[in-house]
């Protein structure tokens, strides 16, 4: 009998539901396999704990108090809607503006922080060759400007010669 077979038969063994051939193979394997012995000991311990299980009844009126409390609670979307409505009450426009400005500031900071972390992550994953390209990217962008300037200078020289 293999360990996997024995582990599947442990509950039946503990209930005494194995046929004599299975039980004999079970006991033979158990006599030579320490891992399966430990597995059986764990199951037996769990069965003992289940035997000590005691039902606990809630005190009188618990269920009705529980459902009363639940029925009085507002859902998260109701609480959110009320909070937004209270913030946007016409009598308190400064509070509403402050809330909008606060949300905008948080959004801008979160966007900037996310972009910064994304950039750092991308840079940390670049190969040395790619890093060299990034370092010289600004130089390459300026090269176009320098070439344009050289062209313009050449044009001025041509104009001055004529």
Q: How far apart are CA 88 and CA 90, in angstroms?
A: 6
List the structure tokens of 60: 């009188």
pLDDT in the model for residue 15:
84
The SS3 of residue 118 is helix
Per-residue pLDDT at 135: 73
The span from the CA of 82 to the CA of 88, in Å, is 10
pLDDT along the chain (162 residues), means of 10: 82 86 88 90 86 78 84 83 74 72 89 86 82 73 72 72 67
Confidence at residue 91, expressed as pLDDT on a 0 to 100 scale: 58
Q: Report d(CA 75, CA 83) in Å as an integer.
A: 13
Measured torsion, CA atoms of residues 120, 123, 124, 129, in degrees rounded to the nearest 10: -170
CA distance 124 to 112: 18
Q: What integer pLDDT is reported at residue 41 of this predicted model? A: 92
Q: Is the pTM of this model over 0.75?
A: no
């Amino acid at each position: 009998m293999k360990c996997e077979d024995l582990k599947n038969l442990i509950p039946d063994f503990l209930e005494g539901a194995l046929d004599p051939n299975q039980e004999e193979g079970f006991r033979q394997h158990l006599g030579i396999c320490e891992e399966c012995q430990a597995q059986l000991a764990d199951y037996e311990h769990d069965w003992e704990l289940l035997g000590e299980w005691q039902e606990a009844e809630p005190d009188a009126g618990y269920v009705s108090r529980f459902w009363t409390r639940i029925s009085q609670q507002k859902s998260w979307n109701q609480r959110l809607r009320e909070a937004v409505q209270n913030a946007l009450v016409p009598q308190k426009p400064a509070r509403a503006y402050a809330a909008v400005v606060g949300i905008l500031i948080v959004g801008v900071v979160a966007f900037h922080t996310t972009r910064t972390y994304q950039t750092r992550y991308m840079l940390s994953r670049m190969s040395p060759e790619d890093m060299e390209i990034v370092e010289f990217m600004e130089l390459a962008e300026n090269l176009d400007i320098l070439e344009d300037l050289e062209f313009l200078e050449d044009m001025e020289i041509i104009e001055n010669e004529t």
